[in-house]
Amino acid sequence: MTRLRSALRQISRVTAALTGGFALLLLSGCNKVHQVFSLSGPQSTMVTAGPVAERQWDLFMITVYVCTFIFIVVGAVLAYAQIKFRAKSEADEHAAPPAEAGHGNPFVEIGLIAGSVALLVIIAIPTVRDIWYTHDVPEDEKVGAMDVTATGYQWWFKFDYPTEMVKLPSGGEAPLSTGNELVVPAGIPVRVQLRTVDVIHSFWIPKLAGKVDMMPNRGNFLWFKADKPGYYYGQCAEYCGESHAIMKFRVIALSGADYVKWLDNQKKSARTVTAQSLADEANVPHFKFASLKDVGRNSTLSGSPDFDADPFAAWQKMQAPETGESAQLIAAGRKNFSDKTCITCHTVRGHEGIGIAGPELTHVGARSSIAAGVLENTSERLHQWIKDPAYFKPGNKMYHGGYIDVTTGQPKFTLNDAEIDTIVAYLHSLK
Amino acid sequence: MAQAIAKSDYTGAAHAPAKPTFGLFARPTTKTGLVSWLTTVDHKRIGMLYGGFAIMFFLIGGLEALMIRTQLIVPNNRFVTAQLYNELFTMHGTTMIFLAVMPLNAAFFNLLVPIQVGARDVAFPRLNSFSLWVWVVGAILLNVGWLSHFSDLFAGFGGAPDVGWFGYSPLTSKQFTPDLSTDFWVLGIQVLGLSSIVASLNFIVTIINMRAPGLTMMRLPVFTWMALVTSFLLILALPAIAIALVEVMFDRNFGTNFFEVSGGGQPILWQHLFWVFGHPEVYILILPPMGYVSEILPTFSRKPLFGYPIVVFSGVAIGFIGFGVWSHHMFTTGLGTIATAAFALATMAIAVPTGVKVFNWIGTLWGGRIVTRVPMMFALGFIWMFMMGGLSGIMHSAAPADAQQQDSYFVIAHFHYVLIGGATFALLAAIHFWFPKFFGRMVPEFWGKLSFWLIFVGFNATFFPMHFLGLNGMPRRTWTYDANMGWNEGNLFATLGAYLLGLGIFTYFAVLVWSFFKGKPAGNDPWDARTLEWSIPSPPPEHNFAAIPTVHARDAWWYEKTHKEEIAMEKAEHIKAEESHGGIHMPDQSWYPILAASGLLVGAYNMAQFRHPLSFFGRTLGFDYGNSADPLHPHHFELGHVHLAMTGLCILVSACYLWSLEGPGGYHIHLDANGNATESRGGYHH
């Protein structure tokens, strides 16, 4: 019996060693192990780019220090007890238990409770301080702060600039509106009013600020400040239905001067390309940004190398009209954009588009992403997106309701590759 | 204190005769076969049924988890569609909480509580059977939607529920989830809540009223204490979600505006109601596991539990403060500064009693003689993993930092450390520990330890990298992700870990099945343990104790083992006293609990789709009557689900009514000198 037990113990030790070894193998076999524990992605909460996210990260690190300290101390005691007080013999395993009376020690217990409370106070003080700091723009910065409104839709974001009015072609004024890419000035606090037209969404730009939900029938808001010009990734963080996982957006922070340039261009009506206008534009200098070189190079990203090498620079490049535009193709695209009923959901200010169910497209050619941050805004991707939106974003309304009648399931129009190419050319001309 | 013996046993008055109200539903007396299981009132059989169903759903929930991990193994994967993925994570959460961990705890309440308090059954045996079958009804309602993926006949269900286990309004409104899956989810959770409330009342009465002589509250085994606290949490927390679910049901079906945004409803109200249930629910899941661990650690340390009163008190404190921290699930909903600060501090406060428990477990090990058998390994694994989950929980209490972690993979890592590393490790320890008691066979140590290491390594490989995925900005409930987000390696690693974890779980249960048939006989007390269940045969006879024990110490069985003569004399007296009052009184089986539950199934299943016409293989059912030629008043009666829903309600009400007429029934067991049992029936005592 004893022999059997010692054999079993031997076997179990070998098993433990083998399993541990397997785990190590798994760890070392994966030559990108540092990437398993990577903290430097485009949505990293560690590589912060503004004071709100920075405060949140610093507070998080305080909790990490305190908790690691607790874990090491308690873990050391636990590990010591496990090793030191092992049963060493058969007799030990059946040792008579000690008397239960008075088992426990009030001084030890009270000491440990007091110690725990003291450690928690270390976390509590900065927590309370930062709750107030992260809640709203600090008093002394309120004067220069800027307001924008972000509205969640299933599954994209609309951004309105309530203080930036644009003249409508039909007369009158309306706030500047754009979709999925929020452009703000760097170095200025931005207060984002959070609204939703349907379910709950959550507005999260990890490098700039923690999330706040867009609650129906509630006036939530958050604030952030981008320290430097740059290109930041954001994403919806509250489950909002079928395509929640791919409801993304971008925030582009520009220097003050660049921001003014960007606003001026956005306030213009849609660019109309004709053979004459192309000839005229060849003589004027293209849209240029002063801060092209000095920012946005902190990314260590995989995939789509051209764009990811420097998304901010790529975005800036998108602001200028493409070379080799064909006025004929663009005109055909503009017609198809009408004929295929795209205009009923999308606004192209100054052109035919008047719909408001989908994102505003007046300057869509100048955006770096499409389909709510899911795809890069290249001709190829835009073509694929228009061809099969349901593939990239299941359940989206452009397909369900736009392309097909939801009650009958029948397509509302036909669309061939050549037609799509014209629409792509048209949309990309809208700088 | 001998409440375990019915009052009539002392007075010698007549038991109500076990007369059949209907011949068809006469109280069955068969002890084997299907009928005996369907009509059982034996707490051990009910516990095993709970356990069996729960393990089945635990494996189903695990399979759903593996599909989720497989979808995320590489970026932009298309293993499942977005819709199916949403159904999978909704049902994974719902299943693991309501259909795996909660019923596994219920299984152990049933198996252990009556024995640990020295009773022969729970206070209300038929009600106990009713809880079980109502739970089964809830489980069916939640899962019935899966059928639509297998047969077009059920296409109208629109798949399994896909609103998340939290079902945040307004996503649950008719506008955004028009199909039936949400109706089934609402009714399924509602029915499960009913089951839990009924069972909790039963256990509260059992623990308070049916303790053996000498078993004062401060001598109760810690597990039974935790069962008591959990039962109170359930009856206090469940009404909140019950109300919220009724409101959703009314919004969806009867045009009310509790959460309807267009009607001025407040979706935030759902979150408050849900989490005022949902946070105590976390403790409902974790307090019983703390109880198992508090039983297992002293047994294998050869030492009583360190600081018993403080462990008990901290359990009660956790239960109490647990009702005051719900809004820490809502730090990002715009609570405002004051409320956020208050809930952040309350959340930190609840860490203190939780920490106290860990300190006392370590105190129990200190100076003991630690025997590392399989249950002990899982229990020690529990302490380590629960510590990690608890500490990452403290990180979340810092509300501004939580604004980054909330709804990210960091949270997933945190609560899986609590619910797998904590609750599940403790449950696996408990299954291994009490398996010999209830099946009479040992589980081989080697295979148990192998499964422990596979589970331990697999679990950490799956969930540890998720902390970093969360810090790196990966949100939860993510059907797919792009390749340039820096999440590829972490997800690949986590998925491989999940496969290893799956292999470990498979090994664990495969070994249990093998042991059930081929394990070595266990004997009454294979672990040299401390509590009363180890003083009786394995598996326990239906009457549990030949003689109701008298309890002299917290570790009652350790005391009995060292005071054999005293105990033998007491027992002889108890047996004599009991026999003079007619013998061991046992409750009769009954059809009415399962009949009432089946009424609930018919009612709720049809209530979920009550506006839909009833179709049978594509045909609607109905008939014409009178002058059917009149086009304005077609005399056509169409049978709808609403009629069946009413039928179900009628079955439920009449079953309950007939149940009340059935009388208490019961029979007596007489033990001879060798412990052989004979039964006697009849209206009067000898």
Q: Distance between CA A94 and CA A92 in Å, rounded? A: 5
Residue at B678 is within a domain: no
CB contact under 8 A, B486 and A35: yes
Q: Distance between CA A138 and CA B23 in Å, rounded? A: 79
Residue numbers of B annotated as active site: 92, 121, 165, 195-196, 279, 281, 283, 294, 328-329, 354, 357, 476
Name the residue in chain B with its Cα closest to that of A63. Answer: B395
Contact call for residues B473 and A233 (beta carbons, < 8 A): yes
Percent of chain B with pLDDT over 90: 75
Q: Give me the phi and psi of B455, to 5 degrees please.
A: -65, -45
Minimum distance, in Å, between the CA of residue B379 and any CA atom of chain A: 12
Going B352 to B358 to B364 to B368, the CA torsion angle's sign is negative
Tens-digit pLDDT profile for residues B393-438 = 999 999 999 999 999 999 999 999 999 999 999 999 999 999 999 9
Contact call for residues B449 and A20 (beta carbons, < 8 A): no
> B50 or A407, which is more confident?
B50
Residues 467-506 of B with CB under 8 A from A: 468, 471-490, 492-493, 496-497
Residue at B401 is within a domain: yes
Q: Which long-range contacts (CB under 8 A, 24 or more apart) does B306-309 make?
A: B306/A103, B306/A104, B306/B360, B306/B361, B306/B362, B306/B363, B306/B364, B306/B366, B307/A103, B307/A104, B307/A105, B307/A109, B307/B360, B307/B363, B308/A100, B308/A103, B308/A104, B308/B218, B308/B222, B308/B554, B309/A104, B309/B218
Both B418 and B523 in one domain: the answer is: yes
Which of A280-289, A337-346, B589-598, B610-619 comes out lowest in average pLDDT? A280-289
Both B547 and B624 in one domain: the answer is: no
CB contact under 8 A, B475 and A97: no
Domains of chain A: 50-86+105-135 (no CATH), 145-266 (2.60.40.420), 268-286+321-431 (2.60.40.420)
Residues in chain A: 431
Q: Give me the phi and psi of B636, to 5 degrees please.
A: -125, 125
CB contact under 8 A, A127 and B562: no
The mean pLDDT value for A267-272 works out to 91
Name the residue in chain B with its Cα closest to that of A212. Answer: B332
> B503 or B675, which is more confident?
B503
CB contact under 8 A, B365 and A78: yes
Residues 325-364 of A with CB under 8 A from B: none
Question: Is B231's pLDDT higher than 80?
Answer: yes
Q: Give me the phi and psi of B476, to 5 degrees please.
A: -75, 175
Instruction: Give the gyration radius of chain B's Cα atoms.
Output: 26
pLDDT at residue A4 in the model: 57
Place of tokens 């808001």: A221
The mean pLDDT value for B160-184 works out to 93
Which DSSP category does A102 fall into?
A: T
CB contact under 8 A, A41 and B309: no
Question: Is B10's pLDDT higher than 50?
Answer: no
Contact of A306 with chain B, judged by CB distance below 8 Å, is answered with no
Which DSSP category does B96 fall into?
A: I
Tens-digit pLDDT profile for residues B86-102 = 999 999 999 999 999 99
Write out the two tokens for B90.
Answer: 């909704």
pLDDT at residue B70 in the model: 96
* SS3 assignment, position B469: helix
Going A345 to A347 to A348 to A349, the CA torsion angle's sign is positive
Contact of A20 with chain B, judged by CB distance below 8 Å, is answered with yes
Contact call for residues A11 and B446 (beta carbons, < 8 A): yes
Q: ipTM score here?
A: 0.91
Q: Distance between CA B177 and CA B187 in Å, rounded? A: 15
The mean pLDDT value for B138-164 works out to 91
Both B269 and B411 in one domain: the answer is: yes
Q: Distance between CA B87 and CA B163 in Å, rounded? A: 8
Contact call for residues A23 and B456 (beta carbons, < 8 A): no
Contact call for residues B590 and B38 (beta carbons, < 8 A): no
Both B602 and B551 in one domain: the answer is: no
> How many other β-carbons are positioned within 10 Å of the β-carbon of residue B571?
17
| CB < 8 Å to B488, chain A | 35, 302
Name the residue in chain B with its Cα closest to that of A114. Answer: B352
Both B533 and B646 in one domain: the answer is: no
Contact of B363 with chain A, judged by CB distance below 8 Å, is answered with yes
Tens-digit pLDDT profile for residues A28-81 = 555 566 777 778 889 999 999 999 999 999 999 999 999 999 999 999 999 999
Number of domains in chain B: 2
What's chain A's average pLDDT?
86
Question: Is B338's pLDDT higher than 60?
Answer: yes
Residues 69-88 of B with CB under 8 A from A: 75, 81-83, 85-86
> How many other β-carbons are positioned within 10 Å of the β-carbon of residue B451?
27
Residue at B335 is within a domain: yes
Both B162 and B294 in one domain: the answer is: yes
| CB < 8 Å to B414, chain A | none
Residues 399-418 of A with CB under 8 A from B: none
Both B632 and B535 in one domain: the answer is: no
pLDDT at residue B521 in the model: 94
CA B608 to chain centre: 24
- Residue-number span of the structural domain to which B360 is assigned: 7-590+665-670
| Distances in whole angstroms, Cα of residue B66 to Cα of each of A96, A241, B88 | 46, 22, 10
Q: Distance between CA B214 and CA A209 in Å, rounded? A: 60
Contact of A178 with chain B, judged by CB distance below 8 Å, is answered with no
> Residue A27 — very low, low, confident or very high, per pLDDT cuts 50/70/90?
low
Residue at B548 is within a domain: yes
Which DSSP category does A22 fall into?
A: H
CB contact under 8 A, A59 and B400: yes
Both B569 and B640 in one domain: the answer is: no
Write out the two tokens for A312.
Answer: 């901010």
Minimum distance, in Å, between the CA of residue A28 and any CA atom of chain B: 12
Which of A348-352, B409-413, B481-485, B548-552 comes out lowest in average pLDDT? B481-485
Minimum distance, in Å, between the CA of residue B48 and any CA atom of chain A: 30
Both B342 and B409 in one domain: the answer is: yes
Residue at B575 is within a domain: yes
The mean pLDDT value for B582-596 works out to 91
CB contact under 8 A, B362 and A304: no
What's chain B's average pLDDT?
90
| Distances in whole angstroms, Cα of residue A184 to Cα of each of A116, A225, A282, A360 | 44, 9, 29, 17
